[in-house]
Copies of this chain bind each other. A is one copy, B any other.
Amino acid sequence: MIKIVVDAFGGDKSPYVNVEGAIKALNEIADLEIIFTGDSTILNEELKKYKYDERRVSIVHAPDIITCDEIPTIALKTKKESSLVKAYDLVKNNEDIGGLVSTGSTGAILTGSVLKTRRLPGVIRPAFCPILPTMNHSVVGVCDSGANASCTVDNLVQFALMGSLYMEKAYGKKNPRVALLNIGTEEEKGDELRKETYQRLKNMKEINFVGNMESRDLLSGKYDLVVCDGFAGNVLIKSTEGTALELLKLLKKSFMKGIKNKLGALLLKKEIYSIKDFMDYNNYGGGVMLGVNKTIIKGHGSSKTNAIYNCVKQAYTLEKNKLISAIGEAIKPKED
């Protein structure tokens, strides 16, 4: 049995979508057990809506919620009755619980993973690795994407190793193509951090390093994992999402102008939806914290049912494929 905690509060549409999405995953996967954290009265009411194997679902009462406006370190310390802190406590104190899924405050989830879980031996800094869809109907991971605003060469080398294993275990990519985010594709490009990292990655036998990647090629499908410091990764992810969103808004607006446009848009409805769908994070899992001893998945704050469903399945898959022990094995300090 694989046990996953689902923080039922914190996202824009919580707890409705959290419960619905998690139960959907539960009903598909026979050896999955879900523990919800959150207000038990509300959760019990919510659960009445669904049919499911009751032996595999439990609730841990947590009446409080950490919001996005709160300072993560303070909120984690003072809001001991919040759904996120309770979720982390469960994960921390129970060896048989594999991990958690939360759509709450990014800052609190990332900080929590540092305070409430343990780094794997040898891991210098855990990294946050979200994924984006690519043009060839696959996904690309970006590691790190905001957990470490400034990084050393050793950090980036570990991100490459952990991210590569993640793309393999989570998405079945064999020999994932690992690229270094840089301002040009040539070997000598970038600052000292990039130049030195390039040489280190080039000589690593454990990964399939394919060279530098320019940010414009993120969605091209040519890469499976992009390695970068958390500052650049955050800029990369958010500008890609932001541009797609702004363009879709522009499209939508223009399609509503006059009868002719509306008719055209009607004819293209399916296609327009499929493009919207393509960029929709709800169809992919969440970002994962790599380098800690538990599976921590952070879903988008505006997650819908399908996003939660995918996040829970993702957590299950990572547990099933033993990502954490694979990372532990790859990174553990060598004995002399």
Contacts and interface: CB of A to CB of B under 8 A. Distances in A.
A124 interface: no
The contact size tier of chain A is: 35 or more
Listed residue (A190, A234, A236, A243) with the most chain B CB atoms within 10 angstroms of its CB? A243
Interface secondary structure of A, over-half rule = helix
Interface in A266-306: 266-268, 271, 274-275, 278-279
Listed residue (A220, A234, A248) with the most chain B CB atoms within 10 angstroms of its CB? A234
A96 interface: no
A250 B248 CA distance: 12
A261 B255 contact: no
Contacts of A232: 231-232, 235
A22 to B, nearest CB: 28
A149 interface: yes
A254 interface: yes
B242 A254 contact: no
Contacts of A234: 183, 215
A191 interface: yes
A49 interface: no
Given A214-B238, A215-B242, A231-B232, A268 B261 contact: yes
A266 to B, nearest CB: 7
Interface in A176-197: 181, 183, 190-194
Interface of A: 135, 146, 149-150, 181, 183, 190-194, 214-220, 230-232, 234-236, 238-251, 254-255, 257, 260-261, 263-268, 271, 274-275, 278-279
